[in-house]
Amino acid sequence: MKLLIRYTFIALLMSAMACKPSQPKQTVPASDLVDTDFNAYLPKAEDKKEEVVEQVPQDQEELGIPEGDVNVEVDTILAHLSSRDLGGIQVYRILVYSGRERDKAEEVVSYLKNEFGNYEVEMTYEQPNYKVRVGYYFDRLTAHGVHTSLKKKFRSAFVVKEKMHVDKVARRIKRANAEKAAAMEITEEDEY
């Protein structure tokens, strides 16, 4: 009987505590919760210093001749990258045609070479399709610019991201520099 009285007393005590009225909540205005003082994040005003403008000779400014030997720097960077195994350098190309018909692929290649001679056109066979890709671009923006001009004729063309081995990139740059030098020699001979 004493045990029953104890349990009843504990039950009444617990129910009395559960029914105890809660304290009223204090309401805080929303403006106090958010700190709207952004002055700490604004840049500080600095004293403006006079900029020294370097005088560039008229000849260099017109020709846009870079200072230093750019090719040596590019070669050293490419040699460093080829010593590391990175899986290649990311390049963007434009896939103009993909299909099973070889004649159609060759027709697209000849059209691109005749109409757009400055693009590098390549036809490959990846079973079961022939694929015609155009150009090698190191940034997506340049590839997208060429893509918009090709999209007028080839509606199914799109930009593809590929990996190219560093040694192949170095060979391509050397070949492009040699072609540029040859073109410069031809134009210089034509002027005289």
Cβ contacts of 78 within 8 Å, gap of 6 or more: 166, 169, 170, 173
Task: Report, in this order, helix, strand and coil percent for the chain, each rounded to 5.
Answer: 50, 15, 35
Q: If 0-12 CB within 10 Å is exposed, 13-18 middle and 19+ buried, where does residue 134 land? A: buried
Separation of CA 189 from chain center: 41
Strand order in the sheet with 158-164: 121-126, 129-137, 89-99, 158-164
Q: Are 101 and 81 in contact (CB under 8 A)?
A: no
Q: Output the pLDDT for position 108.
A: 92
pLDDT tens digits for the chain (192 residues)?
788 888 888 888 777 776 656 556 666 665 565 566 666 666 676 655 555 555 555 544 455 555 556 667 777 777 776 666 667 788 899 999 999 999 999 999 999 988 877 678 889 998 899 999 998 888 899 999 889 988 988 999 999 998 888 778 778 778 877 877 887 777 666 555
Q: Output the pLDDT for position 21.
A: 61
> Which superfamily does 71-191 belong to?
Sporulation related repeat (3.30.70.1070)
Which of 71, 23, 27 lies closest to 178 in space, CA to CA?
71
Say how many C-beta atoms besides its own lie within 10 A of residue 97's C-beta: 23
Q: Output the pLDDT for position 132.
A: 94
Q: Which residues pair with 191 in a beta bridge?
A: none
Q: DSSP alpha helices (H): ranges in 66-101?
A: 70-83
Q: Output the pLDDT for position 2.
A: 80
Q: Output the pLDDT for position 60.
A: 46
Q: Output the pLDDT for position 117.
A: 72
Alpha-carbon span 156 to 60, nearest angstrom: 44
Stated as kind and residue range, the H or E segment containing 35 is none
DSSP class of 128: T
Cα separation of the two ends of the chain:
126
